[in-house]
Structure formats: structure tokens, C-alpha cells
Amino acid sequence: MKSRFSSALVFCLAFSVFPRPAWPAPDAFDDQRDEKSRSEAEVELPAFPENDDLIPFKVGSATDKRFLIDRKSISVGSDQAIRYSVVVISSAGARNISFEGMRCSTGERRVYAFGRNDGTWSRARNSKWAGIRGGGNSYPVALFADYFCVIGQRTIMTPEDAIRALLYGDRLMGP
């Protein structure tokens, strides 16, 4: 028993006497961000969606919500991320609007901003890329698998490709 106590005492004393390694503060890595992270921070928010510009898309069969994409907000960045505004309308008429991005190559999405009732955007506080998850009634899964990323095993390359995919499915995409 005495030797265990002595070992523990020596261990504690060693760490209190010798200096601890200096770990960088979390902000110290900000200067080391790559160019992709910098360009992500500079994503410009689109004009707020107008009803005439909304394209409906299907999301599973067990939902009473309507899902729409604003055709004017669709863009494909130099980082190959597809960005778009999505509008989700509940059966009671409540609207949720967000501006998002999707990376087909990594199966991730990111929410940049949320729509307000007054027709303006509020930037998302914790906007980070995260894996696309969910079941058959998840609109990110539907956009990824049925419209933007896996269509005919080809990723959307232009806003026009995305609009055709939303309107007609994969018939116009080709190999």
C-alpha cells in the first residue's frame, strides 16, 4: 500500500514541478486555415426566394410537407459545392426557409442562413459542414440521392443541370 501511495505522490510531484507543454489556444489555428475555409466564410447570400421562382421536388411518400428550391439561388462554386435556397411548407402553411450548400464528393451539407418572416436572412450561428443523414423523408437525403449528386452517377456541374434535375429527374443528365 505504501509503495502505491509513494508512486502516486512521485507522479503528482513530477507534473507539478516540471512545466506543462504549451498547447496553442484554439484561435491560434485560425491563421492556418486553408483557402477553402476562407472562401466558405465569404459565401454571399442570395436574394430572398420569390414564389414564382420555386421548383417543387419530391421527398419520400410519408410526408405532408411541400419542398421547393429557389431556381435563382442555385449556384455551383469553384469548390464544387452546390448552393441553393430551400423552402419547406408544412400542411398548416408554416414556411421554413434556409440557404444551404451540399458537397457531393463528401456527402456533406451546410446551412449558411435561415429566412426570416420579413424577407431577410439571418446567418446561421454554427454553420459547419456535416454528414447528410436521415431517412426517406429527409430533404437533404433526397436532394443528394435523387437530384444533385447521384443522378446517373454524375454530380451537378452547373445551375442549369440542377434545374433540369429538379424538373425532370435524371432523364436529361446523361452519363
Name which of 47-61, 113-127, 153-167 the model is least confident about. 153-167
Q: Which residues constitute the domain of residue 107?
A: 38-172
Could you tell me if residue 96 is inside a domain? yes
Could you tell me if residue 15 is inside a domain? no
Ranges of H-type helices in the chain: 2-17, 35-41, 139-142, 159-168
Model confidence at 94: pLDDT above 90: yes
> For residues 169 and 98, which has the higher predicted lDDT (pLDDT)?
98
Could you tell me if residue 17 is inside a domain? no
Question: d(Cα 40, Cα 110) in Å, to the nearest integer?
Answer: 10
Most confident of 28-42, 51-65, 151-165: 51-65
State percent of the chain over pLDDT 70: 69
Question: d(Cα 14, Cα 133) in Å, to the nearest integer?
Answer: 47
Could you tell me if residue 95 is inside a domain? yes
Residue with cell 508512486: 7
Question: d(Cα 11, Cα 66) in Å, to the nearest integer?
Answer: 63
Could you tell me if residue 74 is inside a domain? yes
Question: d(Cα 131, Cα 108) in Å, to the nearest integer?
Answer: 4
Structurally, the chain folds into a number of domains equal to 1
Cα–Cα distances (Å) from 113 to 98, 103, 105, 151, in that order, read 6, 17, 22, 27
Could you tell me if residue 71 is inside a domain? yes
Question: d(Cα 46, Cα 83) in Å, to the nearest integer?
Answer: 10
Residue 106 sits in a domain whose CATH number is 2.40.128
Which band of pLDDT confidence, cut at 50, 70 and 90, is reported for residue 151? low
* Number of helices and strands in the chain (H, E): 4, 8
AA letter at 110: R
pLDDT tens by residue, 100-111: 999 988 899 999
pLDDT tens by residue, 3-34: 554 444 444 444 344 343 333 344 433 333 34
Model confidence at 71: pLDDT above 70: yes
Could you tell me if residue 157 is inside a domain? yes
Which band of pLDDT confidence, cut at 50, 70 and 90, is reported for residue 128? very high
Could you tell me if residue 9 is inside a domain? no
